[in-house]
Amino acid sequence: MNKLKSAVLYEYLTKTRAMGIFYLIQYLITALIFSIVAICTNGNEIGSNALEFSSVVFVSVIGVLGYKEDFKALLQNGYTRKYIFWSTVCMFTLLAGTMALIDTIIGNSLHYFNDNYFTLYGSLYGYGNVFTNWLWLTALYLMFCSLFYLAVLVINRVGKTVSLLIGVGISGIILLVTALFRFVFTDEIVSKAAELTMKAMGFMSDGTTNFFFPILSFLVIGAIFGIGSYTVIRRTELK
């Protein structure tokens, strides 16, 4: 357990500097945009919304680095793939939680002082509950970490050419499914699928909102990616 704790701390603390730089740059740019737009519109417009999208990009990069850097370093230090996987999952959770907390606090504060600023969560579900806002963001970031972790593991395993073919295949499937929904499936199937998706995002058919469904959906999708990652990493070799 002590070894796992050391690995988690290593993975997490070696990312905090990058996280600090990310937020510094993000808020410097945002402040600049806010200032320019505020001057040009006499304070009527704010210029930028839903800064969480930048965090999604950042956590995706961390998902990739979770393999690229830490896998090598921990393997060098005698860790097994099972330990590396679980320490990476813990690091993702800690990092997603920390970033979600920062984004929730700053996003809600910005909205509090200026109504024209909308957070990603707030624009979908409103501003009533800061805790569910944090949980929702954590689950969202975690899902993206897991997705990109799986992607980089698969790319590493199968090589460039096969990865490109998989990418083309996935794009093809997305286009096919879209076409099926537009031109093949009956209206009933399409509306049921839409209803299910809306439910998964917490928007119930009776008009109410369930705040935990989207969190659960993100966690389930993240867990599926996680299971995929575990399956791949168990036989991943150092290259």
Partner 1 sequence: MTAIQIKNITKSYREVTALDDVSVSFEFGRIYGFLGRNGAGKSTLINIIANRIFADHGEVLIDGAPAEENMGIHEKLFCMSEADLYDRDLRVKDHFKWTGRFYDGFDLNKALELSRKFNLDTKKRFKALSKGYQSIFKLIIALSLNVPYVIFDEPVLGLDANHRELFYSLLLKEFENNERTFIIATHLIEEVSGVIEEVVLIDKGKVLLQESVDTLLERGYSVSGMAREVDCYCEGRNVIGFDELGSMKIAYVLGEKTALPQGSSLQISAMNLQKLFVKMTGKGGGGNE
Positions that interact with partner 1 (CB under 8 A): 3, 6-7, 9-10, 14, 69, 72-73, 75-83, 234-235, 237-238
Minimum distance, C-beta of residue 94 to partner 1, in the bound complex (Å): 16
Nearest distance, CB of residue 177 and partner 1, angstroms? 36
Sign of CA dihedral 161, 162, 163, 166: positive
Report DSSP letters for 90-135, one per residue.
HHHHHHHHHHHHHHHHHHHHHHHH-TT---HHHHHH-SS-HHHHHH
State the Cα–Cα distance between residues 142 and 97, nearest whole angstrom. Answer: 8
CA 47 from centroid of its chain's CA atoms:
24
- How many H helices and E strands in the chain? 9, 0
- 149, 231 Cβ separation under 8 angstroms: no
Pairwise CA distance, residues 82 & 71, whole Å: 11
User: Closest approach of Cβ 151 to partner 1, in Å?
Assistant: 22
Nearest CB to partner 1, comparing residues 192 and 234: 234
- Cβ proximity to partner 1: between 74 and 215 the closer is 74
**Shortest reach from residue 96's CB to partner 1, in Å:** 21
Closest separation in Å from C-beta 203 to partner 1: 43
Q: Residue 18 or residue 190: which is nearer to partner 1 going by CB?
A: 18
| CB nearer partner 1, residue 24 or residue 184 | 24
Q: Residue 78 or residue 207: which is nearer to partner 1 going by CB?
A: 78
Q: In 3D, which of 140, 99, 111, 132 has the Cα closest to residue 50?
A: 111
Min separation Cβ 74 and partner 1, Å:
8
**Nearer to partner 1 among residue 6 and residue 26 (C-beta):** 6
